[in-house]
Amino acid sequence: MAPALGLGAIVGALLGIVGGGGSILAVPALVYGIGMPLSAAIPSSLIVVGTSSAVAVLPRLKSGVNWRLAGIIGSAGIATVYAGAAVNKRLDPDILLMAFALIMVVAGIRMFSDNDRTGGACALPSGRINWHRCLPKAVATGAIVGFLTGLLGVGGGFLIVPALAIVLGLPMAAAVGTSLVIIVVNSLAGFASHLQNLDLDWGVTAAFVAAAMVASLLSARIGRNLPGTVLKKGFAVLVLLIAVFVAVQATLGQGGT
């Protein structure tokens, strides 16, 4: 039970500070740190990440969420999450984890190399949104993230944050809060897509969730005061480190069954 509490706190702290990345840590933590098979770790991670994100967004509700974008991206994701879950059941766990690692590398490099510019179709310097250009990008982002939520058991924050900050142009603070709302929606849909074959260790999952919720609430207050550049670079480094670890484990055939 102690490993579940410790690892849950780490996942929750990560979600609270940077608005994502908790899921990319939760799956490896449950598989390698707790010893869950990947088939159980995926729905368990969705419970952990969804509840932690719901708690972490509370301090950001007044000024840190773009609700319209959150609704568009979250709705688009619901439509594709079941397709991702269907593909998940047909792939080898090590192949899934390797895909997981490759996606993390791409997202991490993009976040690390990008400067701190904002603006774009969804966040113009004037404060207006160009919906003619923004809406297709937002829908496409939601569809891709939703599919990966079902496929890999992630809330999608490690992709949503780069997409909101780089592709859609939101300031990092708004990207973090908006990401947390979308993660809640994606996690709920993703968990529902796994209900037919659910086989969880509820005691371990509950301990993980409790620790993650407390840590996410506390760390969210810290994250609001950190500069956007610090959040972005720190997020990128963490994603790349975890990607390397997951890739090594998948290569060695230790992805779980």
Tens-level pLDDT at each residue, the chain (257 residues): 777 888 888 888 877 776 666 666 787 788 888 888 878 888 888 888 888 888 888 877 776 788 888 889 888 888 788 888 888 778 887 787 787 788 778 777 776 766 555 555 676 555 566 777 788 888 988 898 888 877 876 656 667 777 787 778 777 778 888 888 888 887 888 788 777 777 788 888 899 889 988 888 888 777 667 776 777 677 778 778 878 877 887 787 655 54
Q: CB of 138 within 8 A of CB of 70?
A: no
Confidence at residue 90, expressed as pLDDT on a 0 to 100 scale: 83
DSSP the chain: -HHHHHHHHHHHHHHHHHSS-HHHHHHHIIIIII---HHHHHHHHHHHHHHHHHHHTGGGTTTS--HHHHHHHHHHHHHHHHHHHHHHTTS-HHHHHHHHHHHHHHHHHHHHHS-S---STTS-TTS---HHHHHHHHHHHHHHHHHHHHHH---SHHHHHHIIIIIS---HHHHHHHHHHHHHHHHHHHHHTTGGG----HHHHHHHHHHHHHHHHHHHHHHTTS-HHHHHHHHHHHHHHHHHHHHHHHHTT-S--
The answer to whether 185 and 77 have CB atoms below 8 angstroms apart is yes
Question: For residue 257, what pLDDT is reported?
Answer: 44
- The answer to pTM > 0.85 is no
Looking at residue 21, its pLDDT comes to 62
